[in-house]
Amino acid sequence: MSLGKPEKEQKGTGIYTSWGYVPLDLCCTAMPENLIVNFAPASLSSSSSSGSSSSSSSSGAGGASTSKKRNDHGDGGGGGAGNGRALVGAAHLDTFLIHEVNTDPTKEFASKHVHSIHLPSALQNRCIIFRAKWVSLPKPYSVKVLVLCTNLATYFYNELGSKQIFKFEYEGDDADLSRCCRTIGATKANILLGSERGELHVFSYEPRKGNIVPSRTLKLSTEPIAELCARRNGLLVVGSPSGALSVWTISQGDPLKLTEYVLCKPETITSIVLWSPYAIVAYGSGIIRMFNLFEKAIVAQIFAHSRWISCMDVCTSANLLLTMGEDDEARIWSLRRRQKGEQRSPIKLQSTIQIEDMNLIGGRFLNTQGTVLGACNLGNKDIAVYVGEDCKR
Amino acid sequence: MMRNANLLLYLNLAGEVFYIIVHRMKSQKVKEEHQERVRNDIAVAICHTTVIQNLLKGSLQILNLKLTDVRILMDRIVHSSIMTVNAFSMEKLFELTLIATKYQYTTCQYPSDILLIALNHLDSIRKAVTDPTAKTLTENLHNLLVDRFKDVDVRTMQTYRYLVLSYLADVKLKMTNLIRLGLQKTSGEFVKPFPDKIKRSELHSSGLIEVYKCPDQDESTSEFKCFSCDLQCECNELDSEETLRRLTTGKFPVKVHESSIRGKEVLTTRFKVEDSDLNMNTGAPLRTSLALNGDRGIILGCSIYDIPGNCDDAPIRTDESENDEAKENTEPASRDYSSNKGNFNDDYIGSSDLYATKGLDLCSVLLGCEPSDSEDDINQSRDIGGAGPSQYSASALGLESVLENFPSLGFGTKTSTFTGNTVDEQLNMNPNSINVIRFDARSDSTGSKAALVAIAQDFFDLEAEDKGENGKYQNAMDALLNDIDMPNEDG
Positive/negative CA dihedral, B468, B470, B473, B476: negative
Q: Quick one: pLDDT at residue A38?
A: 85
Q: Quick one: pLDDT at residue B463?
A: 47
Q: Quick one: pLDDT at residue A124?
A: 76
Report the distance separating Cα B22 and Cα A277, nearest Å: 60
The beta-carbon neighbor of A6 closest among B248, B257, B270 is: B270
Q: Quick one: pLDDT at residue B365?
A: 37
**Residue pairs between chains A and B whose CB atoms are closer than 8 Å:** 362
Four-CA torsion B449, B454, B459, B463, nearest 10 degrees: 100
Give tens-digit pLDDT for B31-78.
899 899 999 999 999 999 999 999 998 888 899 888 999 999 999 998
Q: Does A257 touch chain B (CB under 8 A)?
A: yes
Subunit contact B229:A317, Cβ cutoff 8 A: yes
Other C-beta atoms closer than 10 Å to the C-beta of A235 total 25
Burial of B357: CB neighbours in 10 Å, binned 0-12, 13-18, 19+: middle
Report the distance separating Cα A282 and Cα A280, nearest Å: 7
Within 8 A by CB and 6+ apart from A136, the residues are A67, A71, A72, A73, A74, A75, A76, A143, A144, A186
Subunit contact A262:B258, Cβ cutoff 8 A: yes
The CA-to-CA distance between both ends of chain A, in Å, stands at 31
Q: In Å, how far is A274's CA from the nearest CA of chain B?
A: 8
B449 against B435, higher pLDDT: B449
Q: Quick one: pLDDT at residue B219?
A: 65
Subunit contact A94:B390, Cβ cutoff 8 A: yes
Report the distance separating Cα B184 and Cα B190, nearest Å: 4
Four-CA torsion B143, B148, B153, B154, nearest 10 degrees: -60
pLDDT band at B205 (very low <50, low <70, confident <90, very high): confident
Subunit contact B219:A346, Cβ cutoff 8 A: yes
Report the distance separating Cα B110 and Cα A150, nearest Å: 24
Cis peptide before B487 (omega within 30 of 0): no
Other C-beta atoms closer than 10 Å to the C-beta of A93 total 28
What residues in B contact A304, CB-CB < 8 Å?
206
- Which amino acid does the sequence have at A85? R
**Three-class SS state of A351:** strand
Q: In Å, how far is B28's CA from the nearest CA of chain A?
A: 35
Q: Best of B206, B241, B329 to disrupt the A interface by mutation (most A CBs within 10 Å)?
A: B206
A163 against B213, higher pLDDT: A163
B211 against B346, higher pLDDT: B211
* Residue A14 near residue A333 (C-beta atoms within 8 A): no
The beta-carbon neighbor of A81 closest among B1, B228, B273 is: B228
Subunit contact A8:B231, Cβ cutoff 8 A: no
Q: Quick one: pLDDT at residue B161?
A: 95
Q: Quick one: pLDDT at residue B413?
A: 31
Report the distance separating Cα B437 and Cα B367, nearest Å: 5
What residues in B contact A26, CB-CB < 8 Å?
387-389
Nearest residue of B to residue A231, measured between CA atoms: B239
Question: Burial letters for A312-338: b for 16+ Cβ neighbours within 10 Å, e otherwise?
Answer: bbbbbbbbbbbbbbbbbbbbbbbbebb
Whether the pLDDT of residue B476 is over 70: the answer is: no
* Residue A93 near residue A47 (C-beta atoms within 8 A): no
Q: Does A183 touch chain B (CB under 8 A)?
A: no
**Three-class SS state of B122:** helix
Q: Quick one: pLDDT at residue A97?
A: 94
Q: Does A24 touch chain B (CB under 8 A)?
A: no
Whether the pLDDT of residue B119 is over 50: the answer is: yes
Q: Quick one: pLDDT at residue B217?
A: 64
Burial of B159: CB neighbours in 10 Å, binned 0-12, 13-18, 19+: buried
Subunit contact A298:B273, Cβ cutoff 8 A: no
Give tens-digit pLDDT for B335-391.
345 433 333 333 333 333 333 333 333 333 333 333 333 333 333 333 333 333 333
Nearest residue of B to residue A12, measured between CA atoms: B271
Q: Does A56 touch chain B (CB under 8 A)?
A: no
Subunit contact A296:B161, Cβ cutoff 8 A: no
> Mean pLDDT for each 10-residue chunk of chain A (393 residues)?
37 75 88 84 49 30 28 35 78 93 88 93 85 88 90 92 92 72 90 93 89 92 93 91 93 86 92 91 95 89 93 90 92 87 84 82 89 90 87 38
Q: In Å, how far is A145's CA from the nearest CA of chain B?
A: 16
Q: Does A201 touch chain B (CB under 8 A)?
A: no
Q: Best of A73, A126, A136, A259 to disrupt the B interface by mutation (most B CBs within 10 Å)?
A: A126
The beta-carbon neighbor of A286 closest among B155, B206, B259 is: B206
Give tens-digit pLDDT for B145-184.
999 998 899 999 999 999 999 999 988 888 888 888 888 8
ipTM for the predicted complex: 0.87
Q: Does A139 touch chain B (CB under 8 A)?
A: no
Subunit contact B388:A268, Cβ cutoff 8 A: no
Q: Quick one: pLDDT at residue B339?
A: 36
Give tens-digit pLDDT for B393-425.
334 445 555 556 565 544 333 333 333 333 333
Within 8 A by CB and 6+ apart from B8, the residues are B114, B115, B118, B160, B164
What residues in A contact B191, CB-CB < 8 Å?
357
The beta-carbon neighbor of A251 closest among B156, B244, B268 is: B244
Q: B430: left (phi > 0), else alpha (psi -120 to 50), else beta?
A: beta
* Residue A116 near residue A25 (C-beta atoms within 8 A): yes
Please spell the DSSP secondary structure of A74-133, one letter per residue. TTS-S---SSSEEEEEEEETTEEEEEEEE--TTS---EEEEEEEEPPPPSSS---EEEEE
Nearest to A308 by CA among A291, A322, A288: A288
- Which amino acid does the sequence have at A125? N
Within 8 A by CB and 6+ apart from A348, the residues are A10, A333, A334, A336, B209, B269, B271
pTM of the prediction?
0.77
- Using a pLDDT cut of 70, give the percent of chain B over it: 55
Q: Does A355 touch chain B (CB under 8 A)?
A: no
Nearest residue of B to residue A379, measured between CA atoms: B169
Subunit contact B111:A284, Cβ cutoff 8 A: yes
Four-CA torsion A349, A350, A351, A352, nearest 10 degrees: -20
Within 8 A by CB and 6+ apart from A92, the residues are A24, A26, A27, A28, A29, B169, B387, B388
Report the distance separating Cα B436 and Cα B430, nearest Å: 9
Beta sheet of A111-118, edge-to-edge order:
A36-39, A85-92, A95-102, A111-118
pLDDT band at B250 (very low <50, low <70, confident <90, very high): confident
* Residue A222 near residue A195 (C-beta atoms within 8 A): no
The beta-carbon neighbor of B255 closest among A9, A262, A346 is: A262
Q: Does A57 touch chain B (CB under 8 A)?
A: no
